[in-house]
Amino acid sequence: MKAVRVLEYGGPLVLNDVPTPTIAHDEILVKIKSTAVNHLDLVKASGTARQILPIDLPWIPGHEFSGVVEQIGSDVTAWTSGDAVFGVTGMGAFAEYLAVKPATIARKPSNLSFEEAASVPVASQTAWQGIFTQGHLEKGQTILIHGGAGAVGAYAVQLASHAGATVIATASGDDEAYLDSLGASRVIDYRETQFEKVLREKVDVVFDLIGGDTQKRSFLVLKEGGHLVATTQPVSQEETAKHRVSGAMMRLAPSADALGGIARLLEEGTIRPDVATVYPLQDAAQAWKDIAGNLSPGGPGAARHRSHGKIVLRVA
Ligand SMILES: NC(=O)c1ccc[n+]([C@@H]2O[C@H](COP(=O)([O-])OP(=O)(O)OC[C@H]3O[C@@H](n4cnc5c(N)ncnc54)[C@H](OP(=O)(O)O)[C@@H]3O)[C@@H](O)[C@H]2O)c1
């Protein structure tokens, strides 16, 4: 099969022929239709975090996918060949085939294209886990979401709003209309305003998709007993104790049940996916350049083409 691989830490992405995976009794072989790009792919491939995020080289990136069940292990009962699925994997989705465990996939929402479906699993489950499992968000509460217009933030805004919470998001000012359309009650332009100076009432949950100074200042707006959930860096336990709140960095633990729930919300139109750009698999290097450009200081902002959602690679 064709696959895009990293041959050495920091090396280029290389498209070539590799053996198609063989499946164990409890696995499914998925013919990949689309995959999406995550910051985590770039971090792992660079080797800068190899102590905590090691990879075996050569390595096939790709943490999420949509596709069609091609072959089923003898112990697998829930799926049939030809089923359209989507899900999360630890690696390997920048390829034509992937072996997965049934516990990581769900049925693809019928109203989504394969490209849209590939953009959903990581961002939506991170949002779900962050605000409900770890943030314990409940109806009637208020949540502050930092980075609300990003891939994860957009799901967090939609899910929190659907759950009956009041949603305040920090984002660039020109993302206000987008965030309104997702269900945010209030948008604070992080480039112009310090959120802690304009929030009159404290919030129950902070979902921090940014880190750094944004995380530090978040303690000032969190109610006693509230929850700070971070995706980018650990939370200071000294600060949580001082402010009598709980706080932790989450690490996505994918679940077929959660993804199944998200699929239902997508199918009924309660939440929607956003795809920023679609590239063919052979242009994976360009997709990585786009992601790196969004992350570099001065990269995003006024000069950036303002599209929302994930960068997707079309495989087949
Ligand atoms: N721990 C985990 O399990 C896990 C899972 C998934 C993702 N993550 C991490 O979570 C982070 C967010 O992911 P993502 O995919 O949503 O990123 P993304 O799509 O790049 O979105 C980032 C958003 O944050 C905005 N932003 C930048 N600086 C900001 C600030 N100071 N205040 C408010 N908003 C700001 C950006 O807006 P502008 O471009 O307009 O500045 C952009 O809309 C990433 O670091 C990712 O690696 C962690």
194 CA distance to ligand 1 middle (Å): 17
Could you please report the per-residue DSSP string of 222-279? Answer: EEEEEEEEESSSPPPHHHHHHHT-EEEE------HHHHHHHHHHHHTTSS---EEEEE
23 CA distance to ligand 1 middle (Å): 35
Q: Is the pLDDT of residue 311 over 90?
A: yes
* Nearest atom in ligand 1 to 170's CA: 33
pLDDT of residue 293: 80
How far is it, in rounded angstroms, from Cα 38 to Cα 234? 19
Task: Identify which of 37, 38, 39 to mutate to test ligand 1's pocket (most ligand atoms within 8 A of the CB).
Answer: 39
pLDDT of residue 292: 87
pLDDT of residue 300: 47
Q: What percent of the chain has pLDDT over 90?
A: 94
* C-alpha distance from residue 247 to each of 83, 88, 127, 201, 230 (Å): 40, 26, 16, 19, 8
Query: Is residue 308 within 6 Å of ligand 1 at its C-beta?
Result: no
Q: Residue 281 in 3-state DSSP?
A: helix
Query: Is residue 125 within 6 Å of ligand 1 at its C-beta?
Result: no
Query: Is residue 36 within 6 Å of ligand 1 at its C-beta?
Result: no
Return mean pLDDT, the chain. 95
Mean pLDDT of all residues in 238-244: 98
* Out of 83-97, 137-151, 236-250, 295-309, least confident range: 295-309
pLDDT of residue 296: 54
Mean pLDDT of all residues in 100-125: 97
pLDDT of residue 60: 98
Query: Is residue 229 within 6 Å of ligand 1 at its C-beta?
Result: no
150 CA distance to ligand 1 middle (Å): 5
Task: Identify which of 146, 152, 213 to mutate to test ligand 1's pocket (most ligand atoms within 8 A of the CB).
Answer: 152
206 CA distance to ligand 1 middle (Å): 14
- pLDDT band for position 297 (50/70/90)? very low
Q: Is the pLDDT of residue 281 over 70?
A: yes
Query: Is residue 145 within 6 Å of ligand 1 at its C-beta?
Result: no
231 CA distance to ligand 1 middle (Å): 9
* Nearest atom in ligand 1 to 146's CA: 33
* Nearest atom in ligand 1 to 39's CA: 47
Query: Is residue 256 within 6 Å of ligand 1 at its C-beta?
Result: no
Tens digit of each residue's pLDDT (9 = 90 or more) over 187-200: 999 999 999 999 99
Task: Identify which of 210, 274, 296 to mutate to test ligand 1's pocket (most ligand atoms within 8 A of the CB).
Answer: 210
Q: 246: alpha, beta or left, given left = phi > 0 and alpha = psi -120 to 50?
A: beta
Q: Is the pLDDT of residue 164 over 70?
A: yes
- pLDDT band for position 306 (50/70/90)? low
Q: Is the pLDDT of residue 124 over 60?
A: yes
The candidate with the shortest Cα–Cα distance to 91, out of 110, 112, 63, 120, is 63
